[in-house]
Amino acid sequence: MDLQMFVTLSPGNWLLLLVALECSEASSDLNKPANPTAQHTPNARFAAASSEPDERISVFELDYDYVQIPYEVTLWILLASLAKIGFHLYHRLPHLMPESCLLILVGVLVGAIIFGTDHKSPPVMDSSIYFLYLLPPIVLEGGYFMPTRPFFENLGSILWWAGLGSLVNAFGIGLSLYLVCQVQAFGLGDVNLLQNLLFGSLISAVDPAAVLAVFEEARVNEQLYLIIFGEALLNDGISVVLYNILIAFTKMHKFEDIEAVDILAGCARFVIVGVGGVLFGVVFGFISAFITRFTQNISAIEPLIVFMFSYLSYLAAETLYLSGILAITACAVTMKKYVEENVSQKSYTTIKYFMKMLSSVSETLIFIFMGVSTVGKNHEWNWAFICFTLVFCQIWRAISVFALFYVSNQFRTFPFSIKDQCIIFYSGVRGAGSFSLAFLLPLSLFPRKKMFVTATLVVIYFTTFIQGITIGPLVRYLDVKKTNKKESINEELHIRLMDHLKAGIEDVCGHWSHYQVRDKFKKFDHRYLRKILIRKNLPKSSIVSLYKKLEMKQAIEMVETGILSSTAFSVPQQAQRIQGIKRLSPEDVESMRDILTRNMYQVRQRTPSYNKYNLKPQTSEKQAKEILIRRQNTFRESRKGHSLPWGKPAGTKNIRYLSFPYGHPQSAGGDSGAAEFTDDDSSDPGLPFIKFSTPSQTGSLQKRRRMQEAIPMKSLHGGGKAFNSGYQRNASQEGAVGGGRRAASRPKPLFHVVDEEYESGGESEQESLAAGSRWTADRGDSREHDKSHSPLLQRK
């Protein structure tokens, strides 16, 4: 596997390696024994220059020390990025192993280079760098991309599992290892209980989100996904809190003096640290949301505000020895909802991408450090300790999973099956967090630190590679009992149809949750919080034009690819084909199957897809747009023949369909005539309506007439002024759901058919603004599926 991956690295990569080698060679020559910090080198340079005034000015000089640290850091990050590109080029690879495997390998490679070139000052991570710079972006990203609604619905289970699970794991592993250390034969007698407990706490810091990407194929249900994600999120915080408390204990020099009161104080501190951190985070979240309310004129600093406030919450919490991790998580969660509505679309995208980038950089650097410390001479290998660590990690995770879920299943409406629990157990992959904590153990208190580090590394490598690679097949095995290798085209089509059907019915059913608490919060939110935190009069005029642009572009493309031309749907030719049933060769069948597989629309995933290392490309939006455009045209076709309810014939004017018209399902569109709508309105560059001819359907004429009556005048005219020209088609349609939910507060339905005659030219733009703003304001309230990537159509 490794060889294969190296082969896929581009030649540019090799060049980079050579360059890196050269530079480190050069640096080892130029390096002074003293620590070459940036401050020394300028002085050295000036000193050297001034002390030899009669030397010729050299045309070419090499000064590596000056740039060493940023240069090397940049090279590493670049190397990791190139490796990732290579990783994704071979498209099957991301499904086979998690990306953290790749990062570890890159780290090992860099470590090997540094070791091999005998670098005089290898990179060293110290406690302040890790806790102040490397950790916050990772945690922030986790908190920001968490889907809030499902998270809060499952909050009890998640807290129960993440919190208690970490504690059980930590103490379990620690105590078991202590018992092992008592055995004289292993030579571990000098590792006392406290050190073992500390080791247990750091080794129980799992990073299961790293394997989430491998699950994508197997349809993991939302609850399972949430539990894994929630655990990844909270686990870091809890481990660090525990770690700090135990370090504090260790620092008390007289171990024998630890009394019950100290232990109680420790527990109390645990709770206070956790809760205090969360409160800090929430406060900062609200403050930053409030500030973004006023930034409409300088939208360029909006990302800055978001990041700075999150970071500030972390630092402020750390000042008071509260849990910075939990603070920054809570800040991200609180802030997200309001900030997303306030900031401009570009800022929103910037925030998302920048967050991903920062966390990616942090993680890469940590893995580099890990690689460097792997390939080195500072190991202490103790067979017993390491093997038992591995064994106990698995055993205790299994115990905690099955025991804790057994209890929590009693209280859940939808209990986790044994299959789910197995998946949760198996996803206990350790990551960068454990390594960092192990690496930062103070040597003075831990004379056998090297052994701990080695053991941690072994666990990380084992779990990441072995569990990471095999979890995919395991999930698929658990999910699909029989694998039909060769599905006939029939089956493929029907399977996909049923998937769509199931997804559709699930959408009809909606989300079931504990309504009371959520409703109360929503009411509170709506009445107070939103008034304070959300901007008024969101000027989203460019939403309308953006929609039109997108729609136009897409429609043009569709026409150009010939799909929607009038010949495509012509009926008469098909009569001849019924006679000739061709004998198809296997290759034809194969190619047909290929066509089907590649081109059938994907089933809409209800679970938000989170990928730790990447923001998913927006293929689903493209698909949604296509579907919507097609359906819009068939709607228009079916409406064409009838008069609109308020009594004007449709054909005589330019009807601009700015949203979904009510009611005509495809089967009722019996119009065989071509509908031609041209938009002559020069004031508003509307859509060029493309000429379509519908297939003649077998739907009866009566059905059509009945459709007509189905539109009650009341809802179209609701509120007096029923006509808005806001073009509000939304691929993710979250606003529509909001319309469905809030009967009382919105007398006007969100979507109308607009009749151009009723608008005056000047009003149209204004009304579109109003509609746009209302729509976007509604959107946040009614967000059902908190997708991590908001589709482009949704915002400015």
Residues within window 382-441 making contact with another protein, judged by CB under 8 A: 414
**Alpha carbons 110 and 368: distance in angstroms, whole number:** 7
Distance, in Å, from the CA atom of 177 to the CA atom of 180, rounded to the nearest integer, reads 5
Task: Give the range of 42-50, 79-87, 419-427, 594-602 binding another protein by CB under 8 A.
Answer: 594-602
User: How many angstroms separate the Cα of 161 from the Cα of each of 233, 400, 460, 477, 543?
Assistant: 12, 8, 22, 25, 43
Q: Considering only residues 208 through 227, tell me which ones interact with another protein, judged by CB under 8 A.
A: 221
Strand partners, 656: 754
Q: What are the CA-CA distances from residue 384 to residues 139, 184, 186, 451 (Å)?
A: 34, 11, 6, 11
Q: Which stretch binds another protein (CB under 8 A): 67-75, 156-164, 449-457, 489-497?
A: 489-497
DSSP 206: B
Both structure tokens of 201: 């706490």
Give the residue, chosen from 48, 320, 391, 589, that forms a contact with another protein under the rule CB under 8 A.
589
Which residue, 51 or 573, is less far from another protein as judged by CB? 573
Task: Give every CB contact of residue 756 below 8 A, 6+ residues apart in sequence.
Answer: 653, 654, 655, 656, 681
Question: Among residues 339 and 564, whose Cβ is nearest to another protein?
Answer: 564
Q: Which two tokens stand for residue 119?
A: 């670098």
Of 293, 604, 642, 691, the one binding another protein (CB under 8 A) is 604
Give the binding range for another protein (CB under 8 A) out of 66-74, 161-169, 395-403, 500-508.
500-508
- Shortest distance, position 750 Cβ to another protein, whole Å: 8
For another protein, which residue of 90, 406, 601, 758 counts as binding (CB under 8 A)?
601
CB of 370 to another protein, least distance (A): 40
**Cα–Cα–Cα angle for 210, 214, 217, rounded to 5 degrees:** 150
Binding track over 681-710 against another protein, x by CB under 8 A: --------------x-xxx--xx--xx-xx
Number of neighbouring beta carbons within 10 Å of residue 477: 12
**Site map for another protein, 714-753, x if CB under 8 A?**
xx--------------xxxxxxxx-xxx-x-----x-x--
Within residues 326-345, the interface with another protein by CB under 8 A covers none
Gap between the Cα atoms of 545 and 540, Å rounded:
10
- Contacting another protein within 502-531 (CB under 8 A): 502-510, 512, 515
Choose, by CB under 8 A, the member of 75, 77, 596, 615 that binds another protein: 596
Pure H helices in 165-205: 165-182, 193-203
Q: Which CB, 255 or 569, lies closer to another protein?
A: 569
Footprint on residues 158-197 left by another protein (CB under 8 A) = none
**Binding test (CB under 8 A) with another protein, winner from 43, 444, 574, 585:** 574
* Residues between 647 and 676 that touch another protein (CB under 8 A): 660, 662-663, 665-667
Indicate the residue among 92 and 482 with the shorter CB distance to another protein.
Answer: 482
Q: Does 261 bind another protein (CB under 8 A)?
A: no
**DSSP H helices in 462-488:** 468-479
Give, as ranges, the residues between 456 and 485 that touch another protein (CB under 8 A). 481-482, 484
Nearer to another protein, 141 or 551 (CB): 551
Q: How far is the CB of 656 from another protein (least distance, A)?
A: 19
Place of tokens 């073992």: 196
Closest CB 500 distance from another protein, rounded Å? 5
Residue 444 or 490: which CB sits closer to another protein? 490
For another protein (CB under 8 A), the number of binding residues is 93
Q: Where are the alpha helices (DSSP H) in 204-221?
A: 212-215
Pairing between β-strand 754-755 and β-strand 655-656 as defined by DSSP bridges: antiparallel
235-250 in b/e form (b: 16+ CB < 10 A) is bbbbbbbbbbbbbebb
Please report how close the Cβ of residue 774 comes to another protein at its closest, in angstroms. Answer: 16
Contacts with 476 (C-beta within 8 Å, 6 or more apart), sequence order: 217, 218
Report the residue number, 539 or 740, with the smaller CB distance to another protein.
740
Give the DSSP per-residue string, 619-679.
Answer: HHHHHHHHHHHHHHHHHHHHHHTSPPTTS--GGGS-EE--SPPS---GGG----SPB----
Identified binder of another protein from the candidate list 22, 25, 217, 491, rule CB under 8 A: 491
The DSSP H or E segment spanning 754 is strand 754-755
Binding to another protein by CB under 8 A, coded x per residue (else -) over 621-640, reads: --xx-xxx--x---------
With contacts defined by CB under 8 A, name the span among 22-30, 122-130, 581-589, 757-765 that binds another protein.
581-589
- Residue 548 C-beta: closest distance to another protein, Å: 19
543-572 footprint of another protein as x/- string (CB under 8 A):
---------------x--xxxx---xx---
